[in-house]
Amino acid sequence: MTTSSRQKPPILHVIDEEFVPPDRGDEQEGPESAVPAGDPDEAVRLFHRYRRLMAQILGYEEELPGPASEEDLAAVEEELGVALPADLRALYGIADGDGDIVNQLFDRHPWLSLAEICDQDDEWLDIAREWHYEPWRQLVFDATPPNTVRRSSLRPGWIRFAIDTGGNWLAVDTDPGPNGRPGQVIAVGVDYTRGPAYVADSVTTFLRRLVEALERGDYVRHDESLWIEADQPQLSEHTMYYDGPPSRERAGQAGPLVQDVRVTEVEDCAFLDAMPEVRSLALSSTGSPDLTPLGGRPVEYLELNVESADLTTPARNRELRSLSIACARPVELAPLRMVPNLWALDIAAAPVADLATVTELKGLRYLEVTQDQWRELSELDDLPPLAVVGVHPHRPERDWPVRTAWVTTDGEPPSPTA
């Protein structure tokens, strides 16, 4: 008994197992004036002040491990390939991490020993990059303040020195963005795969906030633990998801720094005037909204679920990296030949008037199509160097937002008759 094509699952063919989505952080410049904000002498003074305040509040002083040696510090820096910021380095000259104390130095983030710094688990990042999770739809957004931290999930220059219990770290950033400072403190990990958070311009400033909070009495005691209310920056909110016709007023309330926008019942895109920083944009409409307001927006991922789509305006955007189109009427891909950075394209839910245009998109590495579309493309010469091809047995009828339950396989491009 044969299985109909409608019963077959969509298959994701990973042709190049070494390929990973481009890292936008690699494209950013560093700061013109790379002057650290930290002060090792001040950090040491704050460290001792913090310890005295904690002892006064608790009624006893917790014992820390002994200092790290200069040889240990040099060995770790050689293994990491970068020097620790001077203020953090000075703290390791006092103690080699928190040890087993109850009240960790860095606000409920246990301070790692030098031995632990070089032995942190990166499995969370490998999982996030697995193709069946569709990482090409997931951007890494900018931190607040803008351009302080490179737009990566993890970088070799981010030295994780303190950890929470949920797969997140505090890190010192030795490879900052154009508006950042070397040695700034950031938050990275499983809760920050869509954008690291800027915490402080240095370990020195981080400690100063904790000391000032204790001096103000801004803490809560839970048995032997102190929860310090130091007003540290929290996970940035990048998103605006809205069911119903979007408006300028609604967009204005979301704020000008919103980068991830998903809206339904779109009649026109004028609301984007209030969103100059949108980078991920998903529009759903039963009609064909005018996409002209997209011009000038730094949109990198565009998802369209519309009656018909004119790609002329989106194609003028040099920042566009990923495009997903679902429509009822045939769409022309020809404008995409002008997009210099497009590497991911999903046309499985769209009838395409000029499918052969795909052969001209030489930067394309990810392609999502139907079986019929792939059969037609396979008969053409000079396809782009595709790393991943997703093949649906028929045009998908998708829920929104778009997510696919893929069956993943490794190997060569799929046969047109598979």
Look over the chain and give the mean of its residue pLDDT values, rounded to a whole number.
91
| 3, amino acid identity | T
| Separation between Cα atoms, residue 117 and residue 96, nearest integer Å | 11
pLDDT in tens, 361-406: 999 999 999 999 999 999 998 999 999 999 999 999 877 677 888 9
Q: What is the 3-state secondary structure (H, E, C) of 18-43?
A: CCCCCCHHHHCCCCCCCCCCCCHHHH
Average pLDDT, integer, range 191-199: 91
Q: 2 pLDDT exceeds 60?
A: no
Residue pair 87/42 in contact by the 8 Å Cβ criterion:
yes
pLDDT in tens, 33-75: 789 999 999 999 999 999 999 999 999 999 999 999 999 999 9
Q: 3 pLDDT exceeds 70?
A: no
Q: Count CB neighbours of 412 within 10 A.
A: 7
Residue pair 393/8 in contact by the 8 Å Cβ criterion:
yes
Query: Model pTM greater than 0.85?
Result: yes
| Separation between Cα atoms, residue 335 and residue 329, nearest integer Å | 17
- Residue 416 banded pLDDT, cuts 50, 70, 90: low
How do strand 219-222 and strand 197-200 relate by DSSP bridges?
unpaired
Helices 203-216, 40-58: axis angle to 10 degrees equals 30
Exposed/middle/buried for residue 322 (C-beta within 10 Å: 0-12, 13-18, 19+): buried
Nearest in space to 372 (alpha carbons), one of 388, 354, 395: 395
Average pLDDT, integer, range 285-310: 92
φ/ψ (deg, to 5) at 159: -95, 110
| Separation between Cα atoms, residue 235 and residue 228, nearest integer Å | 17
